Amino acid sequence: MKRLSVLLALMASPALAATGPFFSLANTDFIVTLAFLVFVGILIYYKVPGIVGGLLDKRADGIRNDLAEARRLREEAQEIYASYERRQREVSSQADEIVANAKREATVEAEKAKQALQVSIERRLKAAEEQIAGAESDAVRAVRDRAIVTAVAAAAEILGKQSSAAERSAGIDKAIDEVAQRLN
């Protein structure tokens, strides 16, 4: 099958379609073929395929270098990404620790504040009880003083009605002597 396709291709070539002899300057197909061969010869003489190959090699090297650089940058980016992920995990764990410490400290401070409030309440209750006791003793003293004043006034009135001035004077002298003895 392969041989048949090659045979058919040769038979369908433009050289066979021209009229007259092929190797003649009047045949345009021969001139085109000859010009093409001269052109290819000039290209080979000036080493154009080597230059084109060198340019292609240079471009291939540039592409290779770009690919290597891209690979290196990708690896670097992956390392940076991994370090940021590590940092994020570290910061997240530190944040969790900070929150836990803050909760513990808040609990401790709340307990201290509760105890301080309890102590303050007890102190105020004690001060209020002392004020009440002081007010009570002042009231008792005031009532006692009032009772004494009233009793003295009543006694003076009763004694004034019952005794004479001489007896009263003697009673006062006796009371003064008695007070003096008790004070000494």
pLDDT computed for residue 97 by the predictor: 92
Q: Above 60 in pLDDT, residue 15? A: no
Amino acid (1-letter code) at residue 178 = E
Q: Above 90 in pLDDT, residue 107? A: yes
Alpha-carbon distance 106 to 112, whole Å? 10
- pLDDT tens per residue, range 146-155: 777 776 676 6
E strands in 48-110: none
Question: By the 8 A CB rule, do 163 and 171 touch?
Answer: yes
pLDDT computed for residue 20 by the predictor: 64
Q: Distance between terminal CA atoms of the chain?
A: 158
Which pLDDT band holds residue 3 (cuts at 50, 70, 90)?
Answer: low
pLDDT computed for residue 8 by the predictor: 52
Which pLDDT band holds residue 13 (cuts at 50, 70, 90)?
Answer: low
Alpha-carbon distance 129 to 135, whole Å? 10
Q: What percent of the chain has pLDDT over 90?
A: 48
3-class SS shares of the chain: helix, strand, coil, % to 5: 90, 0, 10
Alpha-carbon distance 40 to 56, whole Å? 19
pLDDT computed for residue 4 by the predictor: 58
pLDDT computed for residue 164 by the predictor: 67
Q: Above 70 in pLDDT, residue 120? A: yes
Amino acid (1-letter code) at residue 6 = V
Q: Above 80 in pLDDT, residue 102? A: yes
Pair of tokens at residue 69: 């650089």
